[in-house]
Structure 1
Amino acid sequence: YKLMTPIFGKGVVFDAPGSRLDEQMRMVMLSLREVPMRTYPPLVAEETQKMLATLGDEGELDLLHFCKELFLYTATRCLMGEDVRAGVDAEFETLYGNLEKAINPLAYFYPNLPIPTFKRRDVARARLVERVSTILDKRARSGVRVDDGLQRLVDGHYTNGQKLSPHEITGILIAIIFAGHHTSAGTQTWSIIELLRNRAIHDRLRDEVDALYARGEEHDLRVLRDHQLGRSVLREVLRLHPPLIFLFRKVLRDWQYRGRVVPAGQMLCASPAVSHRVPETYPDPERFDPSRYERGEADNPFAYIAFGGGKHKCTGNAFGLLQIQVVTQVLLRELELELVDPPESYVHNYKTATVMPQGPVRVRYRRRVRRTAVQVPSSAPTKSVRRLQLLPDRPVRVSIDRQLCQGHAVCVSEAPGIFRLGAEGEGEVFVASPSPEAFERLARAFEHCPNHAIVVAQDDAQEPS
């Protein structure tokens, strides 16, 4: 990540010492927790509808370009606020583009090399600091407090009481956009491509989306999490099209594995695209098959690493899934889509830092003629949901794996009688041995924890392997 330092800024995110990085991520996490997350589905849907309103009744579009623009709007609006979103104009997009173009291996060795790309990068970052400072000054003068991500950063502070500077807030803003913009845009594009390649799955999902709208549940976060077909489709897209080529970890102390010693200082890497195609785990691995999760093919947490894993798993994984799920619903609800080019012609582009489809991704669209929505049952709960089956006559023991917990606090929302917010805002166990009446709430907290950090022990309980 050293090459990102000139973009994010000195002392910001990956350039910060470990303890300071943890504190910065704690402030970011405030916008990724359960309570604010509930407000995001209608915002994402509204931004999608705004983009669709710019289209005609029928035509052709570059889906990848459409999604890149859309997710710039959704990320800034949800995670930073209305005034930051309002500032996403032509100048902002040019400045952001100049930062993107500066992601170059040269920056790892010569970050200040006086070449035009790096000069434009530095000018762009300085201008973004000015723009963020203007928003902060305007807020301070108005005296109006807004409950949004930008305000949470303004109110945040390190453990020593020091507040974030405009330089740091801007760097975090840039990092937030970089973290989810291209990854989400690419995954969204692949989602539509795969659905159009597999019409039976497309039609079934569209029927279920119609049913969600008919019941008025399309923006309910809990319903979205329980919509198994939608989630399974997205998981399968990420299995076949993970946005990162490699995941790296540095070995901090000598480590032994299967008789081999890996010395401290070495770098280890895993490739999601390779791990996701191991036939012993995923039979017929090249086939797009969302039903494989009903068969438990990804129950091994080390077999599915689209978002990484462990302590450094992608912090925004739950938000990313939510965005794509909502956008997919709106697109299926509003448009009839078809691929313009042969299905096999849509391929990966490995020339960019984030793996996306090779553009342009041409699709043909037509406004959908509404029919009376028929209510269909949502997909039945499947093994892949990690639902616990607890025996009511046996006590349970609940704990949280602190190496995995990042503080999303979904558990506090799903099972408030068992979990509560700790001093640092993370979830903590309040009742370690809950009564059988609380088992259903415990099961929901267990299955929906983004990092699977909840540990439940009960003799003879049927817990996912």
Structure 2
Amino acid sequence: MESLYGSFRALPLSISIPLTIGIVLVIAIARNVIGQLYFPDRNRPPVVFHVFPFIGSSVQYGIDPYKFFFDCKAKYGDCFTFILLGKPTTVFLGQKGNEFILNGKHADLNAEEVYGKLTTPVFGKEVVYDCSNARFMDQKRLLKLGLTTEALRAYIPKFVKEVEDYVNTSPYFKGETGQVNITEVMAEITIYTASGSLLGNEVRSMFDSTFALLYRHLDDGFQPINFVMPWLPLPQNRRRDHARNVMEGLFANIIRQRREQGNQGDETDMIWTLMDAQYKDGTVLPDIHVARLLIAILMGGQHNTAASGAWLFLNLAHKPHLVEEMYQEQLEVLGSPPAPLTWENVQKLTLNGQVIKETLRLHSPIHSIMREVKSPMPVPGTEWVVPPSHTLLASPGTLARSEDFFPRPLEWDPHRWDKADPLEKPVDDSQKVDYGFGMMSKAVSSPYLPFGAGRHRCVGEHYAYAQLGAIVATFVRLLHMEQVDPKVPIPATDYSSMFSRPMNPAVIKWRRRKSE
């Protein structure tokens, strides 16, 4: 033994160091594998088998989360644990899983510790996940004040005008026909419509110059690595921090000017709403909170809408007969030529709404909803307990892709919604709860939950439907759309970013409609 040790010490460092690292890795791998095979903890959900510690199942999950979930479900059932970059992450699928996680008590399950590391450097401090849960719920209540039906009614004409101006002036739409990367188009359209409606003319005009670059730099802060190490001195993180500081200053100037000039008309954008708002304790929102909440509402929903819109038009391009069916619906319902799009008129376009609904079912931008476990959580119907060292993960999108609820679940078929949805049952008052931002359903049994559920359900749900509804209806009025090559399948999903979007190239062919 001594001779072996002596021989090892005699090795040059260029050999001994890699050899030592290799031995340590082999021992760690062996210990990890043996522990899983021979010493599983029967009091916890089964662990997805993996060879490498720390890495665990991160690669399989990152490449295709839904495939990973369904493969694990077939082997382990609805509840199982996998290692995500060293963190034990317990997945609980199905309706029981949604109830367990999405309706969990805040004292037991915490979203701030999961998402705060990512959002605080982008939005700023003291808002969203960087404040108490009660204050965050109150901020959501204030944001909802700017998303009323009356506000949405005023936003629809703005959405329509933005799309019309874009199609008439963008270099993507030169001439009578052409091809466009629909992912890039939707990224621009959604930010123009959101800024113009929610934040007013001052901000919208800046998106042609100042705000556009700042927005891109802020957007770069939404990188998966920042879930784990947001403090890394990466170039994009330095640009993110600078962009947030500058954008805060720009919003502060707009707020100051508005306070000096007063509301000259009946403007109803989100800036005015928050400037005049108070927290429940009577505290007037500080201007810095207003500025940071404006950043949050601008950044928070744009990705989801842009990704959903891109998927929607890609699917329509593969079924151009549906584009014409949607156009004929407008002629039949709104007259020929069709009447201007208003809030009421968009609601009348049944197929237009079904196209959006089917896209959100099949292409939900968020595949995983996570909560940090703060106290031991017994799993109903089992002897398992999820400990505070774990993260809990719900995936409502798996139900939307299940044959138990949707025939041919991976087929994009808007006409599956032609009949009244039996899965969406009326909710009585006993199933409603106020988390601090208004009464809402606490039911999570529906297989269709594209905007989440529980206390962290998206407050911009109705705005997103209105925005997409107006954008889609306007595009259908202006353009014929089809696939460049009908034989090429719809692009695969890019799961490498924070939001599930189409892989490039995501190109469709367009042709302007003649006056009809």
Match in the other structure for 1:289: 413
Structure 1 residues 240, 108: CA separation in 2 closer, same or farther (over 3 Å shift)? closer
The answer for unaligned runs of 5 or more in structure 1 is 372-465
Distance 1:108 1:187 in 2: 23
Match in the other structure for 2:330: 209
Q: What are the residue-to-residue correspondences of 1:299-378 with 2, within 5 Å? A: 299=424, 301-341=445-485, 342-371=487-516
> What do you get for the CA RMSD once the two structures are aligned?
2.3
Q: Which amino acid aligns with 2:358?
A: E
The normalised TM-score by structure 2 is 0.67
* Deviation for aligned residue 1:369: 1.1
Q: Which moved more, 1:163-172 or 1:208-217?
A: 208-217
Q: 1:61 aligns with which of 154, 159, 180?
A: 180
Structure 1 residues 218, 248: CA separation in 2 closer, same or farther (over 3 Å shift)? farther
Spell out, residue by residue over 1:59-84, the C-alpha distance to the aligned partner (whole angstroms, 9 max, x if none): 22221111111111111122222222
Structure 1 residues 138, 360: CA separation in 2 closer, same or farther (over 3 Å shift)? farther
* Deviation for aligned residue 1:49: 0.5
Q: 1:7 aligns with which of 112, 115, 122?
A: 122
Match in the other structure for 1:135: 254
1:80 aligns with 2:199: yes
2:200·2:269 contact (CA, 8 Å) conserved in 1?
yes
Match in the other structure for 2:140: 25
Distance 1:167 1:124 in 2: 15
1:116 aligns with 2:235: yes
User: What is the total number of aligned residue pairs between the two structures?
Assistant: 371
Match in the other structure for 2:429: none
1:340·1:364 contact (CA, 8 Å) conserved in 2?
yes
Q: What are the residue-to-residue correspondences of 1:33-72 with 2, within 5 Å? A: 33-54=148-169, 55-56=173-174, 57-72=176-191
Match in the other structure for 1:233: 355
The answer for unaligned runs of 5 or more in structure 2 is 1-114, 426-444
Structure 1 residues 322, 262: CA separation in 2 closer, same or farther (over 3 Å shift)? farther
Distance 2:315 2:286 in 1: 44
1:221 aligns with 2:366: no
Which structure is richer in relative contact order (CA contacts within 8 A, separation 6 or more)? 2
Structure 1 residues 19, 94: CA separation in 2 closer, same or farther (over 3 Å shift)? same
Distance 2:394 2:339 in 1: 38
* Deviation for aligned residue 1:272: 3.8
Structure 1 residues 139, 241: CA separation in 2 closer, same or farther (over 3 Å shift)? same
Distance 1:290 1:358 in 2: 22
Q: Which moved more, 1:191-200 or 1:234-243?
A: 191-200
Structure 1 residues 260, 28: CA separation in 2 closer, same or farther (over 3 Å shift)? farther
Distance 1:45 1:348 in 2: 29
2:127·2:136 contact (CA, 8 Å) conserved in 1?
yes
Match in the other structure for 2:321: 200
* Deviation for aligned residue 1:262: 4.7
Match in the other structure for 1:183: 304
Structure 1 residues 104, 366: CA separation in 2 closer, same or farther (over 3 Å shift)? closer
Distance 2:213 2:364 in 1: 27
Distance 2:341 2:504 in 1: 31
The normalised TM-score by structure 1 is 0.74
Distance 1:345 1:147 in 2: 40
1:212·1:218 contact (CA, 8 Å) conserved in 2?
no
- SS at 2:254's partner residue? helix
- SS at 1:103's partner residue? coil
Q: Which amino acid aligns with 1:352?
A: S
Structure 1 residues 10, 148: CA separation in 2 closer, same or farther (over 3 Å shift)? same
Structure with the higher fraction of residues in helix conformation: 2
1:7·1:171 contact (CA, 8 Å) conserved in 2?
no
2:333·2:348 contact (CA, 8 Å) conserved in 1?
no
- SS at 2:393's partner residue? strand
Q: What are the residue-to-residue correspondences of 1:409-420 with 2, within 5 Å? A: none
* Deviation for aligned residue 1:211: 3.2
- SS at 1:156's partner residue? coil
Q: Which amino acid aligns with 1:357?
A: P
